[in-house]
Structure 1
Amino acid sequence: MDTATKPKHIGRNISRIRELRGMKQEALATAIGVSQQSVSNIEGSETVDEEKLQAIAEVLGVTADGIKNYSDEAVFNIIGNTVNNHDNASFFQYQPTFNPLDKLVDAYEENKKLYERLVQAEKEKVEYLEKLLKGK
């Protein structure tokens, strides 16, 4: 049995990082100045020349070494070690630093004042129109 380590598939790593970034092949192709088919060929290649790798790394926001040494396991370990509570509901808990009822009462009072100003403006408009009609 051969115990030699299998070489990294650089093209597959580029594809995985691109997908994690939410980027399409067309966008990467445009950014590095090649066709989408070229990007597809690069992602299918086990090796990529250093110049292209550097350009791709810059567009993806990683280093060339980051692409070479990329592994899905490392990403999953980082995510697993970063999130302590696996209950996703904890991400959506909201603890305001103010009393929401106070804010609601303030909004009601503000609306009341605006309504009173609107009614007053309408009264003034009616008075002005009546004065214009009497003047004729």
Structure 2
Amino acid sequence: MAQHTTHLGEKIKGVREMLGIKQDALAIELGDDWNQKKVSMLEAKAEIDPALLEKVAAALKVPKEMIENYDRQNAINFFSSTYTFNDNSSPQVNEIGTQFNINPLEKMLEIYKEKEVLFERMLKDKDEMIAKLESLMKKS
């Protein structure tokens, strides 16, 4: 009997696709040394360092356990049995009162807004550092 193996790269891909996030967008979230090709290579790996898995989970804004426990067939079964859609493909509230609606464009806008806030904070920190250095130079 074949032993069941966990392919974390495929699980990352499944969660990423379920969230409607492209590889390019994930690369942006992971940092400057990441690109679409590197994300693709990551998704091809069966084993992933726990620290990197944690970083990917943070970039996807999900708990790492969601990635570790992701099962494509269970996700398909869950969504097909839980959510119903009308002709406009907009989600309806189901019998347990849950509504599922992930808009990839809204998700990207949210990511870009977070990046903008981070960039503005970095610029402010840079300006403060320059001011401190200038004051130290004047004292010398």
TM-score band (shorter)? 0.5 to 0.7
SS at match of 1:88: coil
| Higher deviation after alignment, 73-82 or 54-63 | 73-82
What is the percentage of aligned positions where both structures have the same residue?
31
Which of structure 1's runs of 4+ aligned residues deviate more than 2 A?
86-89
Aligned equivalent of 1:8 = 6
Selected match of 2:20 from 19, 22, 29: 22
Aligned equivalent of 1:36 = 36
Unmatched segments (≥5 aa) in structure 1: 93-136
1:18-67 deviation per Cα after TM superposition (whole angstroms, max 9, x unaligned): 11211111111111111222111100000111111111111212211211
Structure showing greater Rg: 1
More helix by share: 1
How far 1:15 sits from its partner (Å)?
0.9
Mapping 1:78-117, distance limit 5 Å: 78-83=78-83, 88-89=86-87
- The aligned length equals 88
Aligned equivalent of 1:46 = 46
SS at match of 1:62: coil
Residues 8 and 69, structure 1, Cα contact 8 Å, conserved in 2: no
The AA in structure 2 aligned to 1:65 is: E
What CA distance in whole angstroms lies between the structure 2 residues aligned with 1:48 and 1:35?
Answer: 17
Unmatched segments (≥5 aa) in structure 2: 91-140
How far 1:3 sits from its partner (Å)?
4.6
